[in-house]
Structure 1
Amino acid sequence: MTDIIVIGGGIAGISAAARLSEGANVTVLEGESALGYHASGRSAALFEENYGLAPVIALNKASAEYHQPYLSPRGFLLVARAGEDTQFEADAKTLKCPEISVDEARAHVPILNGLITRAAYHADAWDIDTDRMIQDFARTVRSNAGQVLTDRKVTEINRDKGWTVRCGNEVLTADLLVNAAGAWADQIATMAGVKPIGITPQRRSMARLPAPGGQAVDKWPIFFGVGETWYAKPDAGKLLVSPADEDAVEPHDAWADDMVLAEGLDRYAQHVTEPVTRVETTWAGLRSFAPDRCLVLGRDPQVTDFIWCAGQGGYGFQTAPAASQLLADIVLGHAPQLDAATINSLSPARF
């Protein structure tokens, strides 16, 4: 018998398991053959401290120091066309992104076309080495005598003086159960006899394009249109472009919607000089949100040995260090480092 079973081996589950393993015996169950297969493995992998609602930003700020070894410079550029001034000013204010000239914007991204009328930029946005972060958290679990088990799809959960979790013919037991199942979080709750919260998976599609005009793109920032209706991000000499879609779907191994992707690529193309002539690959991931779009961290108010670690949305990696520490503090009875208002805004008891 283990002390704690964590269901889910994405960044949410493996980081929570690493923190919990400092004070308990932990077993992680991941249904796929590798950690971070679904949402975590398809992340834009950006640390932007000012991205998200207030509780998310609080987690971002509390995570900043931990992230340092995993970060490399990227930068953030917001662009707008004529008639988009109101949305541009709102976005720039929210993201604390100072306005720059259009010429300065083109110095960052040379393919911006003549329709761009305003731009805002700041350097404090960073690429995250997501695979290294996941593997380091997994090493922490193992070094603390915990287990990280892949190919363990949960098929049954029962509660009677502790938890019994069945993965096919394999049965594991534990005192506490952590639900870090991402898009499947409500399904796991239902299986465990716990009231679902309303975690909704939303598809985010992505296309990889050749470097526009054969240019060297690696030093370009990530760049967005106003209202986050598309974004483009350099990646290994190519350009990733997303329509920033958020279509509610059932939990599944996601794939890109061709029409949604085409519309997003068209929005991107309206801002640049280089037409989209070839798409190399496409894919999609599921970003799962609670009804208020904030993370859900802590003990279920009715079933207190069932721990929620869900609703990461698009903030999983950038919040993981602080979110996992908060969860461990709650479960292990330590004094949390975050303020009470933030903790309450992340608690499952708010629903």
Structure 2
Amino acid sequence: MTHVSDVIVIGGGIAGIGAAAHLSSAVQVTVLEAEGAIGHHSTGRSAAIFIKNYGNSTLRKLNAASEPFLMNPAGVCDETLLTPRGQLLIANADEVDEWEAYLEGSDGMERLTPAQAVDLVPILKPDQLAAVAYEGAAQDIDVDRLLQGYARKLRRDGGHIALNAAVETITYENGQWTITASGQTYQAPVVVNAAGAWADHIAQKAGVATVGLVPMRRSAAIIPAPDGHDVSRWPMVASAANSFYAKPEAGKIMVSPADEDPVEPHDAWADDMVLAEGLHRYEQAVTSPVTRVEHNWAGLRSFVADRSPVAGFAPSAQGFFWLAAQGGYGVQTAPAMSQLAADLILNRTPALDAQVVQALSPERFH
């Protein structure tokens, strides 16, 4: 039996499920997910925070375009997906140049004194704070509610999510893509490649030129809250040089070494040495030592050379749509990227600025 749709989306992370949900009110959509649950890889391992000033100029525009939906996700969730958190961007004496570069072109960042930073996060060492900025608009994202809300909308509109559907072959003939996945056959005139770290591999299976995607491992660990401290209202703390970040998480602290180690696509796990080095860098910035790690994990952040996402039809393959290379920005840009994918696939004028659309196009690689 062949399952026929208008659009097949490969990948059940936030990119694929979001795009499918935005498409589902207009066309019949099928999502193929290789794992037994949606959001198994990068989506489920996100730092889950919205930072408007995070990323390059293109990403900052995507962040701004996504914020209204995250605040009011009408048709997907009943209430806001955001909770106030705030972010402190800190720099020691060797990191001031990176700190200044981050603030260039930023919106709504306030320069603080070391004393003001310690008021917000009492365990910071004042003598390690050569520069501090605060982004009060940074907010936690309820990633699971966003993902499941998109999935409910998709199903409500008649869309289908096939789990344990690992893509085996992809062929194109007579205006139709035919995909075999775990013994089943699927067919549609449009395929959306939202396969995350595996997106270039999917393109190779389809005989489509790749975009130079590089998956990079990002590790994280949960440590206990410092004795005597309620961390629930502390902002996230991030090093301007990307040497670590720390964020309150369910009464404890999540610390990441902010690693970006190139790896092959796989079900990622943390490297003990990389994690230890990152925890050491965190300890240099705070007065409270790390006494134990309660658990750790890793995810994959996938980038192309210019570190902007890729969204658009492949220039040399009819009906093959790229939705990939979201790096570490996939969750917070999902609303804008999903809407853009739907607009382009349905031949609508995108809501995003034309310059941003061009900056995301796969045509830039050819």
Bin for the TM-score computed over the shorter chain: over 0.9
Aligned mates of 2:53, 2:99 — CA distance in 1 = 16
Residue 94 (structure 1) shift: 5.1
Aligned mates of 1:148, 1:72 — CA distance in 2 = 29
Cα displacement string for residues 165-211 of structure 1 (whole angstroms, at most 9, x for unaligned residues): 11121111111110000000000000011111111100001011011
Residue 81 (structure 1) shift: 2.6
Aligned to 1:155: 168
Residue 83 (structure 1) shift: 4.4
The SS at the match of 2:192 is strand
C-alpha contact (below 8 Å) 2:114/2:126 kept by paired residues: no
1:244 partner letter: A
Residue 95 (structure 1) shift: 4.2
The SS at the match of 2:241 is helix
Aligned to 1:7: 10
The SS at the match of 1:212 is coil
Aligned to 1:210: 224
Aligned to 1:87: 98
2:325 partner letter: G
Residue 218 (structure 1) shift: 1.0
C-alpha contact (below 8 Å) 1:78/1:92 kept by paired residues: no
Aligned to 2:75: none
1:232 partner letter: A
Aligned mates of 1:122, 1:181 — CA distance in 2 = 32
Aligned pair partner of 1:110 in 98, 122, 125: 122
Aligned mates of 1:276, 1:81 — CA distance in 2 = 20
What 5-or-longer segments of structure 2 have no aligned partner?
72-79
Cα displacement string for residues 19-44 of structure 1 (whole angstroms, at most 9, x for unaligned residues): 11121100001111111110000000
Aligned mates of 1:55, 1:114 — CA distance in 2 = 34
Matched, 1:59 2:72: no
Matched, 1:172 2:183: no
Aligned to 1:34: 37
| Paired residue total | 351
Aligned mates of 1:6, 1:284 — CA distance in 2 = 25
Aligned mates of 1:95, 1:215 — CA distance in 2 = 31
Matched, 1:315 2:346: no
1:125 partner letter: A
TM-score computed with the length of structure 2 as normaliser: 0.93
Aligned to 1:43: 46
Aligned mates of 1:198, 1:258 — CA distance in 2 = 28
The SS at the match of 2:104 is helix
Aligned mates of 2:95, 2:20 — CA distance in 1 = 44
C-alpha contact (below 8 Å) 1:190/1:196 kept by paired residues: yes
C-alpha contact (below 8 Å) 1:82/1:115 kept by paired residues: no
Matched ranges for 1:1-351 at <5 A: 1-68=4-71, 69-93=80-104, 95-96=106-107, 97-117=109-129, 118-161=131-174, 162-351=176-365
4+ residue runs of structure 1 moved beyond 6 angstroms?
A: none
TM-score computed with the length of structure 1 as normaliser: 0.97
Cα displacement string for residues 189-245 of structure 1 (whole angstroms, at most 9, x for unaligned residues): 000111111111000010110112242111110001221211001110110001101
Aligned mates of 1:132, 1:216 — CA distance in 2 = 26
Greater Cα offset, 135-144 or 107-116: 107-116
**Structure 1 residues 241 and 327 mapped into 2: Cα distance closer, same or farther (>3 Å)?**
same
Aligned mates of 1:156, 1:179 — CA distance in 2 = 14
The SS at the match of 2:342 is helix
1:159 partner letter: Y
**Structure 1 residues 148 and 292 mapped into 2: Cα distance closer, same or farther (>3 Å)?**
same
Between the aligned residues of both structures, percent identity stands at 52
What 5-or-longer segments of structure 1 have no aligned partner?
none
Cα displacement string for residues 133-166 of structure 1 (whole angstroms, at most 9, x for unaligned residues): 0011111111111101211111111111211111
CA RMSD of aligned residues (A): 1.2
**Structure 1 residues 214 and 28 mapped into 2: Cα distance closer, same or farther (>3 Å)?**
farther
Residue 57 (structure 1) shift: 1.1
The SS at the match of 1:115 is helix
